[in-house]
Each structure stands twice: as structure tokens, then as C-alpha cells.
Amino acid sequence: MVDNAIAHIMRNYCAVWLALLILLGLSAGSAYLALGTFNLVASLTIAAIKAGLVAMIFMRLRGGHALFRAAAGLGLFTAILLFALSSADFLVTKIHRAPWESPERVEVNGSN
């Protein structure tokens, strides 16, 4: 009985691991194709799927107590909220950049 349970867990977890490695290969491979903006979309989507697999299966969010999903979800939501609010600033503001100026090089005891 115990051996069946062990085999069951090993099979499922190794399947997840295999999926993670395949997704890693897809992520790395797709980076070498010229897909424009879709490169970013693809790599972040694949990362989100990998993270989802680790969270749901390895971290036992799936089938665990609802409080754990609530805590994880709230953390994620707060981060997204802060990103959205912060980026609302620099995405809509027209920034007039001063031309880059190198600081004047100061001679210090012969270094530089």
C-alpha cells in the first residue's frame, strides 16, 4: 500500500518536473526566434506556467486549504496593484531626458 502511494507521488512529481524542463527548453528556444514583442509575451507566459506548476503541485496550493490560495493570491494582487500604480506614472508622463553627461574625471593619486 505504502509502496503504491510512494510510486504514485514519484510518478506525478517527476511528470511535473519533466513538464518544467520542457517549458524551460521552449523558453530558451523561443528566445532565439525573431518574434518581436511576442518574445517577451512568450517568455513571461512560460515563466508564469512554470511558476503555476511549482505553486500548485510542489507547494500544494491545489487541493490545499483555501486560506493558502487566498494568501498567495493576495500577495500577487498587491504586487500587481503596486506595479500598475507605479507604472501609471512613468508610462503616461512625457519624460524629457537631459543628454547624458559623463562626470568629469578627477585625477586621484594617479588612478583612472
* The residue type at 99: P
Minimum distance from residue 28 beta carbon to other proteins (Å) = 5
Looking up cell 510518478, which residue turns up? 11
In the complex with other proteins, which residue's Cβ is closer, 5 or 110? Answer: 5
Q: Alpha carbon of 28 to those of 31, 36, 43, 96: distances in Å?
A: 5, 15, 8, 36
Dihedrals phi, psi of 57, to nearest 5 degrees = -95, -60
**C-alpha atoms less than 13 angstroms from C-alpha of 87 in its C-beta half-sphere:** 6
Minimum distance from residue 65 beta carbon to other proteins (Å) = 5
Which residues of this chain interact with other proteins, rule CB under 8 A? 2, 5-6, 9-10, 13-14, 16-17, 20-21, 24, 27-28, 31-35, 39, 43-44, 46-47, 50-51, 54-55, 57-60, 64-65, 67-68, 71-72, 74-76, 78-79, 82-83, 86-87, 90-91, 95, 100
